Amino acid sequence: MKLKPLRRQPSYQRIALSYLFFALFILSCKNEETLEVKDLQFIQETYYVPEGDYVNVHVASGNQQYSLSGFDEDLISPMVSNTDFPAGSIYVNGLKKGKTAITVKDEVSGQEVQLTIHVVDPFLALEVSDVIPMIKNEDYETVQAIREQVRTEPQRFFGFETREVLILQQNADNQFWVFKNEEEAARGTVHKSGKFTLTFSYGGPNRLRLDYEDSDEPIEYALFAPNQTVFSSLLRWSQNGEPENSAANVQSNALRSSIGSKSAEIRQNTSPVENYELFLIKDFTAIFKETHPEVEEVELFQSMRVYGQRRYLKIADGILE
């Protein structure tokens, strides 16, 4: 009888070693790949910080390892957050009015960018958005007719047009400026200006009065601030002249609320999108009753989008002081 040769069974150890060598080869290839080093870039190079408040300066591109130098410690107190979207950010606290600069160095690429910082009197910047009618009436056709009139003739009811920018600055003059759009604000082309009076408290009534330089008739609006941050900002403005809100207290509060505190940690790791709104309100019931006598009440809400610490507005030099 002729015996058949035994078929050799595959070695499991040999297979395991093959897989191991293959995995090591793949890992070595990955290690050889060079990591992408990004250029250090910011959205803009000049920023206005309200005295006693802060601005979050986002890094548009970078490697999330930064150091700061060259700034006047009496005017600002900056801090780095390497985790903020999209590539980190610099929180700049305004301590005292003046102009200084920060040199931001990317420790990975070695690149440096110098930012100019103006610490100025507190200001509020708003972009004009839509007019929203609030109509008290049960007749559908009447409501629709009023809504259509407001939609097609918004400038007839409010002194603002969509995309215009309103800046209020709280100081001895309480001056305001209106720009046709963000581009005009960056160029410093003023459309209208004047002085404002703001009355704001928990109990109300909350009002904004605008006295235009080219008109003897002031315009007054009721205010509605559904966002807590906007409400708090306006409340601080209304109390600015009180003793407990002196410059020293404001500076101290700014530091406590933003450096090495829980609130500073809360601000980190957040999206750069903000949707803070303020509404200017006027009662137009008498005007609409002329064409629609059956209507009970018509109030128009002018939506104003607030530029916050994360939504920047480029402002030309010489506007804010």
Per-residue pLDDT of the chain (321 residues; tens, 9 = 90+): 555 554 555 555 665 556 556 666 565 555 444 578 899 999 888 899 989 888 889 999 999 999 999 999 999 999 999 888 889 999 999 999 999 999 999 999 999 999 999 999 988 899 999 888 898 877 888 889 888 888 888 777 877 888 999 999 988 889 999 999 999 999 999 999 999 999 888 887 899 999 999 888 899 999 998 888 788 878 877 776 443 444 434 443 443 333 333 333 323 333 333 457 889 999 999 989 888 888 899 999 999 998 865 677 889 888 887
User: SS3 sequence, 171-191?
Assistant: CCCCEEEEECCHHHHHHCCCC
* Cis status of the peptide bond prior to 86, with omega within 30 of 0: yes
- What pLDDT score does 219 carry? 92
- What pLDDT score does 316 carry? 87
pTM of the full predicted structure?
0.73
Supply φ then ψ for residue 192, to 5 degrees: -145, 160
User: How many CB atoms sit inside 10 A of residue 42's CB?
Assistant: 20
Alpha-carbon distance of 309 to 258, in angstroms, equals 12
- What pLDDT score does 233 carry? 78
Q: Which two tokens stand for residue 257?
A: 């609320």
- What pLDDT score does 185 carry? 94
The kind and range of the H/E element at 144 are helix 140-152
197: left (phi over 0), alpha (psi -120 to 50) or beta: beta
